[in-house]
Amino acid sequence: MRTAQRHQPVAPPVLPAAGPDRERAFWRLSPAERVAAMRAGELTLAECSRWAARAPHEVPITNGEFDYIAARLE
């Protein structure tokens, strides 16, 4: 019998304030860490957009729209 695995919540990572160090740090994050940072409000709209363009399969979707866009529409 197989047991259901539970995913532990991921704490949002601490990213550098700005600049090329921030972008490099962003792409070193795991997909789960990027999601946690997005949900914590740590990512800019530009960062979310670059993420969605580069790895759309990683970005959560709500009602057919990327979460970061859906959240701004509420």
| Residue 61 near residue 54, CB atoms below 8 Å | no
The residue ranking higher by pLDDT, 73 or 29, is 29
Kindly report, residue by residue over 4-25, the tens digit of the pLDDT: 445 567 777 788 888 889 999 9
Would 31 be classed as within a structural domain? yes
* 5 assigned to some structural domain: no
In a domain, 43, yes or no: yes
28-38: pLDDT as tens digits: 999 999 999 99
Residue 32 is part of which domain span?
A: 20-73
Would you say residue 7 lies in a domain? Answer: no
Give the Cα-Cα-Cα angle 32, 34, 39 (nearest 5 degrees): 95
pTM: 0.78
Q: How many structural domains does the chain have?
A: 1
pLDDT category at 2 given cuts 50, 70, 90 is: very low
Band of pLDDT at residue 60, cut at 50, 70 and 90: very high
